[in-house]
Chains A and B, each alone.
Chain A
Amino acid sequence: MTPVVLRCHKGIGPAVVGTALVAADNFSARYDLDRIKGVFSRPGHKLAGESYVDRILVLDNAKGGVATAWMLHEMMARTIVPRGLIFNRVNPILAQGAAFAGVALVDRFADGDVTRLFRTGDELRVDPAAGFVEISSRDG
Protein backbone atom coordinates (compact mmCIF):
# COMPACT_ATOMS: atom_id res chain seq x y z
CA MET A 1 0.00 0.00 0.00
CA THR A 2 0.99 3.63 -0.39
CA PRO A 3 1.89 4.98 3.04
CA VAL A 4 -0.83 7.18 4.55
CA VAL A 5 0.18 10.17 6.67
CA LEU A 6 -2.20 11.50 9.34
CA ARG A 7 -1.51 14.86 10.98
CA CYS A 8 -1.92 15.50 14.70
CA HIS A 9 -0.92 18.00 17.39
CA LYS A 10 2.78 18.06 18.14
CA GLY A 11 3.42 15.29 20.68
CA ILE A 12 5.90 14.10 23.26
CA GLY A 13 8.77 11.62 23.18
CA PRO A 14 10.91 9.95 20.51
CA ALA A 15 9.94 8.88 16.98
CA VAL A 16 9.08 5.17 16.97
CA VAL A 17 7.90 2.42 14.62
CA GLY A 18 5.72 -0.49 15.66
CA THR A 19 2.49 -2.45 15.34
CA ALA A 20 -0.85 -0.93 16.34
CA LEU A 21 -3.17 -2.39 18.98
CA VAL A 22 -6.50 -0.55 18.64
CA ALA A 23 -9.70 -0.37 20.71
CA ALA A 24 -12.54 2.11 21.15
CA ASP A 25 -11.93 2.21 24.90
CA ASN A 26 -10.14 4.38 27.45
CA PHE A 27 -6.93 3.88 29.39
CA SER A 28 -5.36 4.04 32.82
CA ALA A 29 -2.22 2.08 33.74
CA ARG A 30 -3.53 1.56 37.28
CA TYR A 31 -7.07 0.53 36.35
CA ASP A 32 -6.46 -1.55 33.24
CA LEU A 33 -3.06 -3.25 33.31
CA ASP A 34 -1.34 -6.16 34.97
CA ARG A 35 2.06 -4.49 34.78
CA ILE A 36 3.90 -7.62 35.91
CA LYS A 37 2.51 -9.82 33.13
CA GLY A 38 2.32 -6.97 30.60
CA VAL A 39 -1.34 -7.50 29.69
CA PHE A 40 -4.64 -5.63 29.94
CA SER A 41 -6.23 -7.10 33.07
CA ARG A 42 -9.50 -5.23 33.74
CA PRO A 43 -12.22 -7.68 32.71
CA GLY A 44 -14.44 -5.04 31.09
CA HIS A 45 -11.70 -3.53 28.91
CA LYS A 46 -11.94 -4.27 25.19
CA LEU A 47 -8.28 -5.33 25.18
CA ALA A 48 -8.59 -7.63 28.25
CA GLY A 49 -6.01 -10.40 28.01
CA GLU A 50 -4.00 -8.70 25.21
CA SER A 51 -0.30 -7.97 25.65
CA TYR A 52 0.57 -4.28 25.40
CA VAL A 53 4.34 -4.80 25.41
CA ASP A 54 6.08 -3.07 22.47
CA ARG A 55 2.74 -2.30 20.81
CA ILE A 56 1.60 1.15 19.74
CA LEU A 57 -1.65 1.54 21.69
CA VAL A 58 -4.46 3.38 19.89
CA LEU A 59 -7.28 4.30 22.28
CA ASP A 60 -9.93 6.93 22.84
CA ASN A 61 -9.27 8.89 26.06
CA ALA A 62 -7.04 8.78 29.09
CA LYS A 63 -9.14 8.22 32.19
CA GLY A 64 -9.02 7.86 35.93
CA GLY A 65 -6.21 8.41 38.33
CA VAL A 66 -2.80 9.96 38.51
CA ALA A 67 -0.71 6.80 38.86
CA THR A 68 0.02 6.46 35.14
CA ALA A 69 2.50 9.33 35.46
CA TRP A 70 4.84 7.17 37.59
CA MET A 71 3.81 3.83 36.14
CA LEU A 72 4.95 4.49 32.55
CA HIS A 73 8.43 5.27 33.94
CA GLU A 74 8.40 2.10 36.06
CA MET A 75 7.23 0.01 33.08
CA MET A 76 9.92 1.57 30.88
CA ALA A 77 12.61 0.64 33.42
CA ARG A 78 11.51 -3.01 33.20
CA THR A 79 11.01 -2.78 29.38
CA ILE A 80 7.42 -4.03 29.78
CA VAL A 81 5.95 -0.93 28.21
CA PRO A 82 4.00 0.17 25.13
CA ARG A 83 6.23 1.49 22.36
CA GLY A 84 3.91 4.41 21.67
CA LEU A 85 0.56 5.93 22.57
CA ILE A 86 -2.01 7.37 20.14
CA PHE A 87 -5.17 8.88 21.60
CA ASN A 88 -8.03 11.08 20.50
CA ARG A 89 -7.35 13.40 23.42
CA VAL A 90 -5.36 12.73 26.58
CA ASN A 91 -5.62 14.14 30.07
CA PRO A 92 -2.61 15.80 31.74
CA ILE A 93 -1.57 12.61 33.51
CA LEU A 94 -0.81 10.67 30.35
CA ALA A 95 1.11 13.63 28.90
CA GLN A 96 3.07 14.06 32.12
CA GLY A 97 3.79 10.32 32.25
CA ALA A 98 4.96 10.21 28.65
CA ALA A 99 7.20 13.24 29.22
CA PHE A 100 8.69 11.72 32.37
CA ALA A 101 9.20 8.22 30.92
CA GLY A 102 10.19 9.22 27.38
CA VAL A 103 7.30 7.33 25.75
CA ALA A 104 6.05 8.53 22.34
CA LEU A 105 2.60 10.15 22.64
CA VAL A 106 0.39 11.97 20.13
CA ASP A 107 -3.26 13.09 20.13
CA ARG A 108 -5.69 15.61 18.55
CA PHE A 109 -5.85 14.29 14.96
CA ALA A 110 -7.31 16.46 12.21
CA ASP A 111 -8.92 13.51 10.37
CA GLY A 112 -11.21 12.20 13.12
CA ASP A 113 -11.45 9.29 15.56
CA VAL A 114 -8.11 7.47 15.89
CA THR A 115 -9.86 4.21 16.84
CA ARG A 116 -11.35 4.24 13.29
CA LEU A 117 -8.37 5.71 11.45
CA PHE A 118 -6.06 2.92 12.62
CA ARG A 119 -6.53 -0.86 12.74
CA THR A 120 -4.94 -3.50 14.92
CA GLY A 121 -1.94 -4.86 13.03
CA ASP A 122 -1.17 -1.65 11.12
CA GLU A 123 2.54 -0.94 10.93
CA LEU A 124 2.99 2.65 12.11
CA ARG A 125 5.68 5.32 12.24
CA VAL A 126 4.95 7.88 14.95
CA ASP A 127 6.82 11.20 14.85
CA PRO A 128 5.71 13.30 17.83
CA ALA A 129 8.05 16.23 17.14
CA ALA A 130 6.77 16.61 13.58
CA GLY A 131 3.15 15.88 14.57
CA PHE A 132 2.22 12.98 12.30
CA VAL A 133 1.68 9.22 12.17
CA GLU A 134 2.36 7.23 9.02
CA ILE A 135 0.56 3.96 8.29
CA SER A 136 3.39 2.24 6.45
CA SER A 137 1.62 -1.07 5.86
CA ARG A 138 -1.76 -2.68 6.45
CA ASP A 139 -2.90 -6.27 5.89
CA GLY A 140 -5.79 -6.70 3.47
Chain B
Amino acid sequence: MRLSDEERAMLAGELGEVRRWAIEHQITVGEFFDAADFVPVSQAHIMADTESLGEAGVRFLEQLAAAPEAERRVRVPTITDPRGIDFAAYRRLGLSERMAALERRAIDALRAFGVLMTDTCINYQTIMAPLRAEHVAYGDTGVVIYSNSVLGARSNFEGGPSALAAALTGRTPRYGYHLDECRRATRRFRLTERPRDLAEWGAVGGIVGEACSSYWQVPLIEGVEAAPGSDMLKHLGASAASFGSVALFHMPGVTAEDAAFSGPSSDTVQIGRAEIDAFLARYDAPGDKLDVVVFGAPQLSLFEIEAVAQALDGRRVHPDTGLLVTTSPEIKHAADRMGLTRRIEMAGAVVAEGICFYQSYAREMAEANHWTRLMTNSAKLVNIIGGYGYRPSLASLERCVDSAVAGRVL
Protein backbone atom coordinates (compact mmCIF):
# COMPACT_ATOMS: atom_id res chain seq x y z
CA MET B 1 0.00 0.00 0.00
CA ARG B 2 1.07 3.56 -0.69
CA LEU B 3 1.51 5.34 2.67
CA SER B 4 1.62 9.05 3.49
CA ASP B 5 4.29 10.48 5.78
CA GLU B 6 1.84 10.45 8.68
CA GLU B 7 0.87 6.84 8.01
CA ARG B 8 4.54 5.81 7.92
CA ALA B 9 5.05 7.61 11.23
CA MET B 10 2.13 5.73 12.76
CA LEU B 11 3.54 2.44 11.51
CA ALA B 12 6.92 3.28 13.00
CA GLY B 13 5.29 3.84 16.40
CA GLU B 14 6.05 7.57 16.45
CA LEU B 15 2.42 8.29 17.44
CA GLY B 16 2.36 5.56 20.10
CA GLU B 17 1.80 1.83 20.29
CA VAL B 18 -2.01 2.04 20.01
CA ARG B 19 -1.94 3.77 16.61
CA ARG B 20 0.93 1.52 15.49
CA TRP B 21 -1.23 -1.55 16.19
CA ALA B 22 -4.17 0.08 14.43
CA ILE B 23 -2.44 0.96 11.18
CA GLU B 24 -0.49 -2.31 11.05
CA HIS B 25 -3.80 -4.20 11.31
CA GLN B 26 -5.31 -2.02 8.58
CA ILE B 27 -2.33 -2.53 6.26
CA THR B 28 -2.59 -6.32 6.68
CA VAL B 29 -6.26 -6.20 5.69
CA GLY B 30 -5.72 -3.61 2.95
CA GLU B 31 -2.96 -5.61 1.28
CA PHE B 32 -5.13 -8.75 1.39
CA PHE B 33 -7.75 -6.85 -0.64
CA ASP B 34 -5.17 -5.10 -2.89
CA ALA B 35 -5.97 -1.62 -1.55
CA ALA B 36 -3.78 1.04 -3.20
CA ASP B 37 -3.90 3.46 -0.26
CA PHE B 38 -6.03 4.76 2.62
CA VAL B 39 -9.12 6.95 2.49
CA PRO B 40 -10.07 9.35 5.33
CA VAL B 41 -13.32 8.53 7.16
CA SER B 42 -15.69 10.91 8.93
CA GLN B 43 -17.19 8.44 11.44
CA ALA B 44 -16.52 5.01 12.90
CA HIS B 45 -19.05 2.58 14.40
CA ILE B 46 -17.76 -0.27 16.56
CA MET B 47 -19.43 -3.63 17.21
CA ALA B 48 -18.14 -4.65 20.63
CA ASP B 49 -20.69 -6.80 22.43
CA THR B 50 -19.07 -8.91 25.12
CA GLU B 51 -20.48 -12.21 23.88
CA SER B 52 -18.28 -11.72 20.82
CA LEU B 53 -15.34 -10.11 22.63
CA GLY B 54 -15.14 -12.62 25.46
CA GLU B 55 -12.59 -12.17 28.21
CA ALA B 56 -9.78 -12.07 25.63
CA GLY B 57 -11.33 -9.22 23.65
CA VAL B 58 -12.10 -7.16 26.73
CA ARG B 59 -8.55 -7.64 27.97
CA PHE B 60 -7.25 -6.50 24.58
CA LEU B 61 -9.32 -3.30 24.80
CA GLU B 62 -8.16 -2.69 28.36
CA GLN B 63 -4.51 -3.04 27.35
CA LEU B 64 -4.89 -0.47 24.56
CA ALA B 65 -6.94 1.81 26.82
CA ALA B 66 -4.11 1.90 29.36
CA ALA B 67 -1.97 3.98 26.95
CA PRO B 68 -1.52 7.73 27.61
CA GLU B 69 -4.61 9.71 26.66
CA ALA B 70 -3.02 11.50 23.70
CA GLU B 71 -2.07 8.15 22.20
CA ARG B 72 -5.40 6.40 22.67
CA ARG B 73 -8.03 9.05 21.73
CA VAL B 74 -10.07 8.34 18.62
CA ARG B 75 -9.56 10.78 15.73
CA VAL B 76 -13.13 10.87 14.36
CA PRO B 77 -16.55 10.69 16.03
CA THR B 78 -16.92 7.04 17.03
CA ILE B 79 -20.11 5.31 18.14
CA THR B 80 -21.10 1.77 19.18
CA ASP B 81 -23.33 -1.04 17.97
CA PRO B 82 -25.68 -2.72 20.51
CA ARG B 83 -24.11 -4.00 23.73
CA GLY B 84 -24.42 -7.44 25.27
CA ILE B 85 -26.34 -6.28 28.35
CA ASP B 86 -29.15 -3.88 29.21
CA PHE B 87 -28.26 -3.10 32.83
CA ALA B 88 -31.90 -2.33 33.67
CA ALA B 89 -33.25 -5.58 32.20
CA TYR B 90 -30.58 -8.29 32.33
CA ARG B 91 -31.75 -9.93 35.54
CA ARG B 92 -35.31 -10.19 34.18
CA LEU B 93 -33.84 -11.89 31.09
CA GLY B 94 -31.89 -14.45 33.13
CA LEU B 95 -28.38 -13.12 32.46
CA SER B 96 -25.65 -13.27 35.08
CA GLU B 97 -23.63 -10.84 37.17
CA ARG B 98 -20.47 -12.20 35.49
CA MET B 99 -21.80 -11.07 32.10
CA ALA B 100 -22.75 -7.65 33.49
CA ALA B 101 -19.29 -7.24 35.03
CA LEU B 102 -17.56 -8.07 31.72
CA GLU B 103 -19.84 -5.58 29.95
CA ARG B 104 -18.92 -2.82 32.42
CA ARG B 105 -15.21 -3.45 31.79
CA ALA B 106 -15.72 -3.21 28.02
CA ILE B 107 -17.68 0.05 28.38
CA ASP B 108 -14.96 1.57 30.60
CA ALA B 109 -12.29 0.66 28.05
CA LEU B 110 -14.25 2.02 25.09
CA ARG B 111 -14.97 5.29 26.93
CA ALA B 112 -11.24 5.68 27.57
CA PHE B 113 -10.73 5.91 23.79
CA GLY B 114 -13.37 8.66 23.61
CA VAL B 115 -15.99 6.39 22.07
CA LEU B 116 -19.61 7.58 22.34
CA MET B 117 -21.69 4.70 23.71
CA THR B 118 -24.69 4.95 21.41
CA ASP B 119 -25.35 1.18 21.53
CA THR B 120 -27.35 1.16 18.33
CA CYS B 121 -27.61 -0.55 14.96
CA ILE B 122 -30.01 2.14 13.67
CA ASN B 123 -27.64 5.10 13.92
CA TYR B 124 -28.77 6.17 10.43
CA GLN B 125 -32.26 6.72 11.91
CA THR B 126 -31.21 8.15 15.27
CA ILE B 127 -27.66 9.59 15.51
CA MET B 128 -26.12 11.10 12.34
CA ALA B 129 -26.91 9.76 8.89
CA PRO B 130 -23.94 9.94 6.50
CA LEU B 131 -24.23 11.79 3.19
CA ARG B 132 -23.85 10.49 -0.33
CA ALA B 133 -20.17 9.79 -1.16
CA GLU B 134 -19.15 10.19 2.51
CA HIS B 135 -16.53 7.60 3.46
CA VAL B 136 -17.22 5.97 6.84
CA ALA B 137 -16.08 2.88 8.78
CA TYR B 138 -19.27 1.22 10.01
CA GLY B 139 -19.33 -1.97 12.03
CA ASP B 140 -22.75 -3.54 11.55
CA THR B 141 -23.89 -5.23 8.37
CA GLY B 142 -27.37 -3.69 8.52
CA VAL B 143 -25.91 -0.24 9.07
CA VAL B 144 -23.47 -0.66 6.20
CA ILE B 145 -25.99 -1.88 3.63
CA TYR B 146 -28.53 0.84 4.53
CA SER B 147 -25.90 3.60 4.49
CA ASN B 148 -24.30 2.42 1.24
CA SER B 149 -27.60 1.84 -0.56
CA VAL B 150 -30.25 4.25 0.70
CA LEU B 151 -27.88 7.10 1.55
CA GLY B 152 -25.06 6.54 -0.95
CA ALA B 153 -22.34 6.53 1.71
CA ARG B 154 -19.21 4.40 1.31
CA SER B 155 -18.27 1.71 3.81
CA ASN B 156 -17.12 -1.88 3.91
CA PHE B 157 -18.18 -4.19 6.71
CA GLU B 158 -15.78 -3.12 9.46
CA GLY B 159 -15.61 -5.70 12.25
CA GLY B 160 -14.92 -4.48 15.78
CA PRO B 161 -11.10 -4.48 15.67
CA SER B 162 -11.04 -2.81 12.24
CA ALA B 163 -13.62 -0.16 13.14
CA LEU B 164 -11.59 0.63 16.26
CA ALA B 165 -8.46 0.83 14.12
CA ALA B 166 -10.23 3.23 11.72
CA ALA B 167 -11.32 5.38 14.66
CA LEU B 168 -7.73 5.53 15.93
CA THR B 169 -6.13 6.36 12.57
CA GLY B 170 -9.01 8.37 11.03
CA ARG B 171 -8.84 6.35 7.82
CA THR B 172 -9.49 2.94 6.32
CA PRO B 173 -7.96 0.94 3.45
CA ARG B 174 -9.47 1.98 0.10
CA TYR B 175 -10.99 -1.26 -1.27
CA GLY B 176 -14.43 -2.73 -1.87
CA TYR B 177 -17.32 -0.28 -1.52
CA HIS B 178 -15.04 2.75 -1.26
CA LEU B 179 -14.33 2.25 -4.99
CA ASP B 180 -16.66 3.16 -7.89
CA GLU B 181 -15.93 -0.06 -9.76
CA CYS B 182 -17.22 -2.25 -6.90
CA ARG B 183 -20.54 -0.38 -6.70
CA ARG B 184 -21.89 -1.48 -10.10
CA ALA B 185 -24.91 -3.81 -9.97
CA THR B 186 -24.10 -7.44 -10.83
CA ARG B 187 -27.42 -9.27 -10.26
CA ARG B 188 -30.87 -8.21 -11.43
CA PHE B 189 -34.13 -8.80 -9.48
CA ARG B 190 -37.68 -7.67 -10.24
CA LEU B 191 -40.30 -7.29 -7.54
CA THR B 192 -43.70 -8.19 -9.04
CA GLU B 193 -45.65 -7.89 -5.78
CA ARG B 194 -45.29 -5.19 -3.16
CA PRO B 195 -44.50 -6.72 0.27
CA ARG B 196 -47.29 -6.18 2.81
CA ASP B 197 -45.30 -5.75 6.03
CA LEU B 198 -41.80 -5.65 7.48
CA ALA B 199 -41.52 -9.45 7.65
CA GLU B 200 -42.22 -9.60 3.92
CA TRP B 201 -39.70 -6.85 3.13
CA GLY B 202 -37.23 -8.93 5.12
CA ALA B 203 -38.24 -12.01 3.16
CA VAL B 204 -37.43 -10.17 -0.07
CA GLY B 205 -34.04 -9.28 1.38
CA GLY B 206 -33.52 -12.92 2.29
CA ILE B 207 -34.37 -14.11 -1.23
CA VAL B 208 -32.03 -11.52 -2.75
CA GLY B 209 -29.28 -12.32 -0.26
CA GLU B 210 -29.42 -16.07 -0.82
CA ALA B 211 -29.33 -15.59 -4.59
CA CYS B 212 -26.29 -13.29 -4.35
CA SER B 213 -24.55 -15.23 -1.58
CA SER B 214 -21.42 -13.10 -1.69
CA TYR B 215 -20.18 -9.80 -0.32
CA TRP B 216 -18.97 -8.91 -3.81
CA GLN B 217 -22.37 -9.20 -5.57
CA VAL B 218 -24.48 -6.03 -5.87
CA PRO B 219 -28.21 -6.61 -6.47
CA LEU B 220 -30.33 -4.27 -8.59
CA ILE B 221 -33.95 -4.51 -7.37
CA GLU B 222 -36.44 -3.18 -9.93
CA GLY B 223 -40.23 -2.94 -9.83
CA VAL B 224 -40.58 -0.80 -6.70
CA GLU B 225 -42.83 2.02 -7.90
CA ALA B 226 -43.18 4.10 -4.70
CA ALA B 227 -40.71 4.75 -1.89
CA PRO B 228 -41.21 1.95 0.64
CA GLY B 229 -40.11 3.86 3.78
CA SER B 230 -37.06 3.68 6.01
CA ASP B 231 -38.16 0.73 8.20
CA MET B 232 -39.01 -1.38 5.14
CA LEU B 233 -35.59 -0.86 3.57
CA LYS B 234 -33.98 -1.34 6.98
CA HIS B 235 -35.46 -4.87 7.13
CA LEU B 236 -34.78 -5.62 3.48
CA GLY B 237 -31.16 -4.54 3.77
CA ALA B 238 -30.45 -6.22 7.11
CA SER B 239 -31.86 -9.48 5.78
CA ALA B 240 -29.91 -9.33 2.50
CA ALA B 241 -26.74 -8.65 4.47
CA SER B 242 -27.48 -11.53 6.82
CA PHE B 243 -28.52 -14.17 4.27
CA GLY B 244 -25.96 -13.17 1.63
CA SER B 245 -23.30 -10.91 3.17
CA VAL B 246 -24.56 -8.27 0.72
CA ALA B 247 -23.30 -4.72 1.49
CA LEU B 248 -24.97 -2.63 -1.24
CA PHE B 249 -28.17 -2.78 -3.31
CA HIS B 250 -29.65 -0.43 -5.85
CA MET B 251 -33.39 0.24 -6.19
CA PRO B 252 -33.97 2.64 -9.10
CA GLY B 253 -35.95 5.73 -8.11
CA VAL B 254 -35.48 5.00 -4.40
CA THR B 255 -31.83 4.51 -3.46
CA ALA B 256 -29.10 7.13 -3.77
CA GLU B 257 -27.06 6.20 -6.81
CA ASP B 258 -27.80 5.61 -10.48
CA ALA B 259 -26.99 1.93 -10.85
CA ALA B 260 -24.62 0.99 -13.64
CA PHE B 261 -25.23 -2.69 -14.43
CA SER B 262 -22.36 -5.03 -15.25
CA GLY B 263 -23.95 -8.48 -14.90
CA PRO B 264 -25.57 -10.81 -17.50
CA SER B 265 -28.66 -8.99 -18.84
CA SER B 266 -30.81 -12.12 -19.30
CA ASP B 267 -30.54 -13.25 -15.71
CA THR B 268 -33.46 -11.54 -13.88
CA VAL B 269 -34.88 -13.19 -10.75
CA GLN B 270 -38.63 -12.51 -10.34
CA ILE B 271 -39.88 -12.09 -6.77
CA GLY B 272 -43.66 -12.23 -6.36
CA ARG B 273 -46.31 -13.53 -3.98
CA ALA B 274 -45.33 -17.18 -4.45
CA GLU B 275 -41.66 -16.55 -3.66
CA ILE B 276 -42.44 -14.41 -0.59
CA ASP B 277 -44.96 -16.95 0.74
CA ALA B 278 -42.54 -19.82 0.18
CA PHE B 279 -39.83 -17.97 2.09
CA LEU B 280 -42.15 -17.35 5.06
CA ALA B 281 -43.41 -20.95 4.96
CA ARG B 282 -39.92 -22.26 5.72
CA TYR B 283 -40.42 -21.03 9.26
CA ASP B 284 -44.06 -22.10 9.72
CA ALA B 285 -44.89 -23.90 12.97
CA PRO B 286 -48.66 -23.48 13.44
CA GLY B 287 -49.92 -24.55 16.84
CA ASP B 288 -46.47 -24.88 18.44
CA LYS B 289 -46.12 -23.71 22.01
CA LEU B 290 -44.53 -20.27 21.81
CA ASP B 291 -41.72 -19.45 24.24
CA VAL B 292 -40.72 -15.94 23.23
CA VAL B 293 -41.55 -13.20 20.73
CA VAL B 294 -38.69 -10.85 19.87
CA PHE B 295 -38.94 -7.53 18.07
CA GLY B 296 -35.41 -6.44 17.15
CA ALA B 297 -32.58 -7.11 14.70
CA PRO B 298 -32.46 -4.29 13.71
CA GLN B 299 -33.50 -2.30 16.77
CA LEU B 300 -36.96 -0.78 16.49
CA SER B 301 -37.65 2.75 15.29
CA LEU B 302 -40.10 4.93 17.19
CA PHE B 303 -42.78 4.09 14.61
CA GLU B 304 -42.24 0.35 15.10
CA ILE B 305 -42.44 0.76 18.89
CA GLU B 306 -45.73 2.60 18.47
CA ALA B 307 -47.05 -0.24 16.30
CA VAL B 308 -46.14 -2.78 19.01
CA ALA B 309 -47.88 -0.64 21.65
CA GLN B 310 -51.02 -0.39 19.51
CA ALA B 311 -51.08 -4.13 18.90
CA LEU B 312 -50.76 -4.84 22.66
CA ASP B 313 -53.20 -2.21 23.99
CA GLY B 314 -55.76 -3.80 26.31
CA ARG B 315 -54.20 -7.26 25.96
CA ARG B 316 -51.96 -9.48 28.06
CA VAL B 317 -49.02 -11.61 26.91
CA HIS B 318 -49.59 -15.29 27.78
CA PRO B 319 -47.96 -16.19 31.14
CA ASP B 320 -45.84 -18.93 29.54
CA THR B 321 -44.57 -16.67 26.74
CA GLY B 322 -42.07 -13.80 26.82
CA LEU B 323 -42.23 -10.73 24.61
CA LEU B 324 -39.09 -8.63 24.22
CA VAL B 325 -38.71 -5.35 22.34
CA THR B 326 -35.19 -4.02 21.69
CA THR B 327 -34.32 -0.50 20.68
CA SER B 328 -31.63 2.17 20.96
CA PRO B 329 -31.25 4.32 24.08
CA GLU B 330 -32.45 7.39 22.13
CA ILE B 331 -35.65 5.68 21.00
CA LYS B 332 -36.19 4.05 24.41
CA HIS B 333 -36.05 7.45 26.09
CA ALA B 334 -38.50 8.82 23.54
CA ALA B 335 -40.78 5.81 24.06
CA ASP B 336 -40.61 6.36 27.84
CA ARG B 337 -41.44 10.04 27.43
CA MET B 338 -44.37 9.33 25.12
CA GLY B 339 -45.86 6.58 27.29
CA LEU B 340 -45.19 3.81 24.74
CA THR B 341 -42.92 1.80 27.07
CA ARG B 342 -45.59 1.85 29.78
CA ARG B 343 -48.28 0.64 27.36
CA ILE B 344 -46.06 -2.24 26.17
CA GLU B 345 -44.86 -3.28 29.63
CA MET B 346 -48.40 -3.15 31.07
CA ALA B 347 -49.15 -6.03 28.72
CA GLY B 348 -46.36 -8.09 30.30
CA ALA B 349 -43.62 -7.39 27.75
CA VAL B 350 -40.09 -6.02 28.29
CA VAL B 351 -38.67 -3.02 26.41
CA ALA B 352 -34.87 -3.24 26.50
CA GLU B 353 -32.46 -0.52 25.40
CA GLY B 354 -29.04 -0.71 23.84
CA ILE B 355 -29.22 -4.42 22.96
CA CYS B 356 -30.46 -6.31 19.92
CA PHE B 357 -31.22 -9.78 21.39
CA TYR B 358 -28.95 -12.03 19.36
CA GLN B 359 -25.87 -10.09 20.54
CA SER B 360 -26.97 -10.50 24.15
CA TYR B 361 -25.96 -14.01 25.14
CA ALA B 362 -28.90 -15.52 23.26
CA ARG B 363 -27.86 -19.09 24.06
CA GLU B 364 -27.64 -18.37 27.80
CA MET B 365 -30.99 -16.53 27.70
CA ALA B 366 -32.56 -19.58 26.07
CA GLU B 367 -31.17 -21.89 28.75
CA ALA B 368 -32.12 -19.60 31.65
CA ASN B 369 -35.69 -19.09 30.42
CA HIS B 370 -36.24 -22.53 28.81
CA TRP B 371 -36.87 -20.84 25.45
CA THR B 372 -36.83 -22.79 22.19
CA ARG B 373 -39.67 -21.61 19.92
CA LEU B 374 -39.07 -17.98 19.00
CA MET B 375 -41.30 -15.81 16.83
CA THR B 376 -40.32 -12.52 15.22
CA ASN B 377 -41.02 -10.24 12.28
CA SER B 378 -37.27 -9.99 11.56
CA ALA B 379 -35.99 -12.15 8.70
CA LYS B 380 -32.45 -11.34 9.84
CA LEU B 381 -33.15 -12.79 13.27
CA VAL B 382 -34.62 -16.06 12.00
CA ASN B 383 -31.46 -16.53 9.93
CA ILE B 384 -29.12 -15.97 12.87
CA ILE B 385 -30.86 -17.51 15.81
CA GLY B 386 -31.04 -21.18 14.75
CA GLY B 387 -27.34 -21.54 15.54
CA TYR B 388 -28.09 -20.55 19.14
CA GLY B 389 -30.50 -23.48 19.58
CA TYR B 390 -33.78 -21.67 18.87
CA ARG B 391 -36.50 -22.79 16.44
CA PRO B 392 -37.60 -19.52 14.80
CA SER B 393 -40.86 -18.53 13.10
CA LEU B 394 -41.29 -15.47 10.88
CA ALA B 395 -44.56 -13.51 10.66
CA SER B 396 -46.00 -9.99 10.68
CA LEU B 397 -45.82 -7.86 13.83
CA GLU B 398 -49.57 -8.27 14.34
CA ARG B 399 -49.47 -12.07 14.04
CA CYS B 400 -46.48 -12.21 16.41
CA VAL B 401 -48.44 -10.23 19.01
CA ASP B 402 -51.59 -12.34 18.53
CA SER B 403 -49.44 -15.44 19.03
CA ALA B 404 -47.77 -14.01 22.14
CA VAL B 405 -51.21 -13.43 23.66
CA ALA B 406 -52.36 -16.93 22.69
CA GLY B 407 -49.14 -18.58 23.89
CA ARG B 408 -48.80 -20.56 20.67
CA VAL B 409 -47.83 -19.90 17.08
CA LEU B 410 -50.89 -18.74 15.12
Spell out A's residues near B (CB within 8 Å).
Answer: 9-12, 26, 30-34, 41-45, 60-71, 73-74, 76-78, 89-93, 95-97, 99-100
Spell out B's residues near A (CB within 8 Å).
Answer: 25, 28-29, 31-33, 47-49, 52-57, 60, 81, 139-141, 156-162, 176, 213-216, 241-245, 247, 358-359, 363, 383-384, 386-389
Structural contact, B52 and A42, CB atoms closer than 8 A: no
Other A-B pairs beyond A66-B139, A89-B215, 17, CB < 8 Å: A31-B383, A31-B384, A34-B387, A60-B213, A64-B242, A66-B81, A66-B157, A68-B159, A69-B47, A70-B52, A73-B161, A77-B54, A92-B162, A92-B176, A97-B161, A99-B25, A100-B25
C-alpha gap A11/B29 in the complex (Å)? 9
CB distance from A44 to the nearest CB of B (A): 7
CB distance from A136 to the nearest CB of B (A): 25
C-alpha gap A11/B52 in the complex (Å)? 24
Structural contact, A91 and B161, CB atoms closer than 8 A: no
Structural contact, A64 and B383, CB atoms closer than 8 A: yes
Chain A binding surface, main DSSP class:
mixed
CB distance from B99 to the nearest CB of A (A): 14
CB distance from B111 to the nearest CB of A (A): 18
Structural contact, A77 and B55, CB atoms closer than 8 A: yes
C-alpha gap A42/B49 in the complex (Å)? 21
CB distance from A7 to the nearest CB of B (A): 16
C-alpha gap A93/B139 in the complex (Å)? 10
27 A-B pairs with CB atoms under 8 Å apart are A11-B32, A12-B32, A26-B245, A34-B387, A41-B387, A44-B386, A61-B213, A63-B244, A64-B383, A64-B384, A65-B140, A67-B49, A70-B47, A70-B52, A70-B57, A70-B160, A71-B54, A74-B54, A90-B215, A91-B245, A92-B159, A93-B157, A95-B32, A96-B29, A96-B159, A99-B28, A100-B25
C-alpha gap A26/B52 in the complex (Å)? 19
CB distance from B253 to the nearest CB of A (A): 28
C-alpha gap A90/B49 in the complex (Å)? 23
Query: Which A residues are in CB contact (< 8 Å) with B389?
Result: 41
Structural contact, B213 and A26, CB atoms closer than 8 A: yes
Given contacts A11-B32, A74-B53, A96-B29, contact A66 B158 (CB under 8 A): yes
| CB-nearest residue of chain A to B244 | A63
Query: Which A residues are in CB contact (< 8 Å) with B243?
Result: 63-64
Query: Which B residues are in CB contact (< 8 Å) with A34?
Result: 363, 387
C-alpha gap A34/B362 in the complex (Å)? 12
CB distance from B194 to the nearest CB of A (A): 27
Query: Which B residues are in CB contact (< 8 Å) with A70?
Result: 47-48, 52-54, 57, 159-161
Query: Which B residues are in CB contact (< 8 Å) with A92?
Result: 29, 33, 156-159, 162, 176, 215
Structural contact, A42 and B56, CB atoms closer than 8 A: no
CB distance from B105 to the nearest CB of A (A): 14
| CB-nearest residue of chain B to A35 | B54
| CB-nearest residue of chain A to B384 | A31
Structural contact, B28 and A12, CB atoms closer than 8 A: yes
Query: Which B residues are in CB contact (< 8 Å) with A31?
Result: 383-384, 386-387
Query: Which A residues are in CB contact (< 8 Å) with B156?
Result: 92
Which residue of the partner chain, among B32, B57, B140, B358, contacts A99 with CB atoms under 8 Å?
B32
Structural contact, A61 and B159, CB atoms closer than 8 A: no
Which residue of the partner chain, among A71, A77, A89, A91, contacts B157 with CB atoms under 8 Å?
A91
Structural contact, B29 and A99, CB atoms closer than 8 A: yes
Structural contact, A93 and B159, CB atoms closer than 8 A: yes
Which residue of the partner chain, among A43, A71, A99, contacts B52 with CB atoms under 8 Å?
A71
